[in-house]
Every structure is written in structure tokens, then in C-alpha cells.
Amino acid sequence: MDPDCKPMEAPTIPPLFPRMRNTLFSTISTGINFNKYDIISVEVIASHLQMPFTSFDEMNWWDLLLQNLLRTKYAKATPVQKYAGKTTLACSDLMACT
């Protein structure tokens, strides 16, 4: 989103060489007990933002961002990602803490 809350065009980014891409994403992991993240409670104040996305595909992000998420081997969104997607697309404020 731009400062006026309008969708921006996807950035033009030169392609990475395969070796660079593999190096960049090879050290990323989902973290310890990642499958238990879904039990983390989330409080959303704005009623129109209370239904989270259930997958990265629903978030309607740029292809480059989705491809990079897949390269990180994240199979599903974290609770913050599920709710932050709609919040940021609505140009609302977000505060997340653990």
C-alpha cells in the first residue's frame, strides 16, 4: 500500500542467480514447535478484521512475495501473519507482542 492506502504495483526486481537464491533461503526455518503456533490467542478490536486469512494464497500478495514465502518452507501462516494481512491491507494499525 502506498501512503494514501492505495495498492502499489509489484516492484521490478532483477532475478537472483539460483545459487544466490539457494544461499539466501537455505538457513531459514519455521522455528521450534511451529505447528503449535495456532493455539496462540489473538485479540482483534476492529470487527471487520476479525476473520483471519487461512492461507498465504488468500492474502493476494505479489507473486514475488508468495514465491519467497514458499522458498522459506513456511507451509502456513503464523497467527500474526494471518491477522496482519487483512489489517495492513485495510491500512489499519497493528500491534503484535508475545
pLDDT digits (tens, 9 = 90+) for 6-56: 777 777 777 777 777 778 877 777 777 777 887 888 888 887 777 888 888
Tell the burial category of 30 from Cβ atoms under 10 Å away from its Cβ (0-12, 13-18, 19+): middle
pLDDT band at 1 (very low <50, low <70, confident <90, very high): low
pLDDT band with cut points at 50, 70 and 90 for residue 86? confident
In a domain, 52, yes or no: yes
Residue 95 lies in a domain: no
Mean pLDDT of 63-74: 82
Residue 68 domain-assigned (yes or no): yes
Whether 94 is covered by a domain: the verdict is no
In a domain, 74, yes or no: yes
Domain count, the chain: 1
Question: Residue 73 falls within a domain, yes or no?
Answer: yes
Residues 6+ apart with CB under 8 A from 65: none
Residues of the domain holding 35: 31-89
Question: 97 lies in a domain?
Answer: no
Q: How far is it, in rounded angstroms, from Cα 28 to Cα 48? A: 33
The pTM score is: 0.62
Tell me whether residue 59 is in a domain.
yes
